[in-house]
């Protein structure tokens, strides 16, 4: 871990357009994009400004997101136009961060949540509901 000791996420790209995967410099995609997304991590695909899918890249963020952008048979190919990416150098944390993102935002994800959900106790929910009714009646 070295210089990143204690940090789970070391860098991030926020709301980059899918079009970065179409930029060409001669016959190659711009190397700068590949370099910035060359590490492991978690990413979010967006449809406009709405989160659509949360995924992980255990080898290289660039390769994983590029596949979503350039393979028409990819399940998510037609459904996104922006992405965010989070560099997570320690692979042991990738599942945790992915789970937190899936749990924290509505997506069309079919991923399995790896974090146990805490449900509001029924008695508490009923109490709060009854208090709201009392407030509305006043």
- Among candidate residues 60, 70, 54, the one with its CA nearest the CA of residue 22: 70
End-to-end CA distance of the chain: give it in Å, rounded. 59
pTM of the model: 0.77
Question: What is the per-residue pLDDT across 84-110, written as a single tens digit (0 to 9) for each?
Answer: 999 999 999 999 999 889 888 877 766
What is the structure's pLDDT at 115?
A: 67
Element (H, E) at 126: helix 122-137
Tally the domains of the chain: 1
The alpha carbon dihedral of 88, 91, 95, 96 has a sign of negative
Confidence of residue 1 (pLDDT cuts 50, 70, 90): very low
Residue 32: phi and psi, rounded to 5, are -60, -40
Neighbours of 56 (CB within 10 A): 20
DSSP assignment string, 46-108 = EETTEEEEEEEESS-HHHHHHHHHH-TTSTTTTS-SEEEEEE-SSGGGHHHHHHHHHHHS---
Confidence of residue 124 (pLDDT cuts 50, 70, 90): confident
CATH of the domain at 121: 3.40.1440.10
Percent of the chain with pLDDT over 70: 86
- How far is 79 from 69, CA to CA, in rounded Å? 10
Question: What is the per-residue pLDDT across 43-96, written as a single tens digit (0 to 9) for each?
Answer: 999 999 999 999 999 999 999 999 999 999 998 899 999 999 999 999 999 999
Q: Which domain holds residue 81?
A: 2-137
Question: What is the per-residue pLDDT across 12-42, written as a single tens digit (0 to 9) for each?
Answer: 999 999 998 887 766 566 788 888 999 999 9
């Amino acid at each position: 871990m070295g210089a990143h000791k204690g940090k789970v996420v070391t860098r991030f790209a926020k709301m980059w357009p899918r079009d970065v995967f179409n930029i060409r410099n001669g016959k190659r995609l711009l190397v700068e994009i590949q370099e910035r997304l060359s590490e492991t991590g978690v990413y979010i695909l967006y449809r406009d400004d709405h989160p659509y899918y949360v995924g992980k890249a255990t080898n290289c963020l660039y390769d994983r997101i590029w596949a979503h952008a350039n393979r028409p048979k990819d399940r998510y190919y037609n459904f996104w136009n922006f992405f965010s990416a989070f560099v997570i150098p320690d692979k042991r944390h990738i599942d945790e961060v992915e789970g937190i993102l899936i749990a924290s935002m509505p997506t069309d994800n079919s991923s399995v949540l790896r974090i146990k959900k805490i449900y509001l106790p029924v008695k508490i929910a009923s109490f709060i509901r009854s208090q709201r009714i009392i407030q509305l009646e006043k």
